[in-house]
Amino acid sequence: MVTDAIRKGANMTAPAIELRGVSRRFRGATALDDVQLEVMPGIVGLLGPNGAGKTTLLRILATVLGADGGSVRILGRDPADAVERTEIRRRLGYLPQELQYPRGFTTYRFVDYMAVLKEIEEPAARRAEVRRVLEDVDLRDRAAKSIRTLSGGQRRRVGLAQALLGSPELLVLDEPTTGLDPEQRVALRTVLAERGRASTVLIATHQTEDVAALCEHVVVLDRGSVSFQGTVAALVREAQGRVWLADTADPRAQVSWRTATGRYRNLGEAPAEAELVEPTLEDAYLLLRGATESEAVAA
């Protein structure tokens, strides 16, 4: 796969995504507001609460939705230009949040159909590529099954398979692990980690453990704006000294919950008789969210 990227001339030093002041509104509601974002090759996690604008942002990056304002450059090209948009699409794999399938397709036929749409025309090469991606998502034994008969997790993997076709330089995945069991999630992480060595993988998810396990960089989107952009380690560092284990829930804590051991995990100021613990990405994300909420309330 690394050789694929080299053969394609994938530029691993230039930003794959550059957004400057991007905005998007839907019937008067602001989905994205002045988004500034630069994404370098590698695996990048996109976190944010429901309604933060993640899906809108990903649809813009997948070139299926235009921005109302600002500048968008994807793989060095402008998606507003029809010719450049096609060039982007040739190097793009996209898994939307909700993907439905045409009736009457088997797994193989749907992925094969998508392979044709991705301009993999030579029949032998197409067959090999379809088999490869079905293998990647562990669906080889379901190739001849009608998609209608597959489970939710299997259907999700069909969507992933089509996104992986052609070893794209940019993979845009909206909640790829939804509906997958733990083993499948681990298997998918392996596939994506391999892809991340040669291309840019942007993963929007609510699963902070996926981001912690896979991503070097993370972007946090809140109310249509980027509230954090940096390394996962940097985000976790922001929570250093602010995560405590105590016997009781602290009313002053930003967030507090009872853990499996019966003790309470308190995020924020130090409660009485509490034990300072190492923060996780989830702690850091929740603290960031709490701070953003407070700022919004103050504003």
Partner 1 sequence: MPAARSPLVPLAWIEAKRFARHPLFLTGFVLALVFSGGEYGPAELDHQFVPAFFVGLFGLVVAARLTASTRRSEAVVDAAPVSETTRTAALCAACLVPAAAALIVVVFFRLVLAIFYDPRPAYSYGVFTTGERYVILLVLPVIACLGAPLLGVAVGRWLRFPGAPLLVAVALFVWGMLAGYRPSQMGASTWPARILHMLTPYTAWIEHNGSGDLWVPTVVRSLTGSPAWFAVWTLALCALAACAALLHGAEGRVRRAVVRASCVAGAVAVTSLTLAVVTGYSVTHDSSSEGTVVSDSRTPLPPHP
Q: Name the site residues for partner 1 (rule: CB under 8 A).
A: 7-8, 59, 62-64, 82, 86, 89-90, 92, 94-96, 98-104, 109-110, 112-114, 116-123, 126, 159, 162-163, 166
Distance between CA atoms of residues 5 and 169, nearest Å? 7
Sheet containing 69-74, strands listed edge to edge, beginning at the edge strand earlier in sequence:
29-39, 17-26, 69-74
CB 230: neighbour CB atoms within 10 A?
13
Closest to partner 1 by CB, 99 or 255: 99
Nearer to partner 1, 97 or 280 (CB): 97
Q: How far is the CB of 94 from partner 1 (least distance, A)?
A: 4
Which C-beta is closer to partner 1: that of 110 or that of 264? Answer: 110
Q: Answer for the pair 65, 59: CB distance below 8 angstroms, yes or no.
A: yes
User: From CA 121, how far away is CA 123, in angstroms rounded?
Assistant: 6
Nearer to partner 1, 59 or 142 (CB): 59
What CA–CA distance (Å, rounded) separates 162 from 213?
23
The Cα–Cα gap between 242 and 250 comes to 13
Tell the smallest beta-carbon distance from residue 225 to partner 1 (Å): 24
* Smallest distance from partner 1 to CB 168, Å: 10
**Rounded Cα gap, residues 109 and 97, in angstroms:** 22
Q: For partner 1, which is the closer residue by CB, 129 or 250?
A: 129
Cβ–Cβ < 8 Å for 145, 107: yes
CB proximity list for 189: less than 8 A, separation 6 or greater: 210, 213, 214
To partner 1, the closest distance from the beta carbon of 101 in angstroms equals 6
The nearer residue to partner 1, 172 or 220, going by C-beta atoms, is 172
Sheet holding 255-258, edge to edge: 255-258, 264-267, 243-246, 275-276
User: At closest approach, how far in Å is the CB of 56 from partner 1?
Assistant: 13
Q: Which is nearer to partner 1, 80 or 277 (CB)?
A: 80
Q: From the CB of 34, what's the least distance to partner 1, in Å?
A: 25
User: What are the structure tokens assigned to 6, written together?
Assistant: 């080299």
Q: Cβ 182 to partner 1, closest distance in Å?
A: 26
**Structure tokens given for 147:** 């998609």
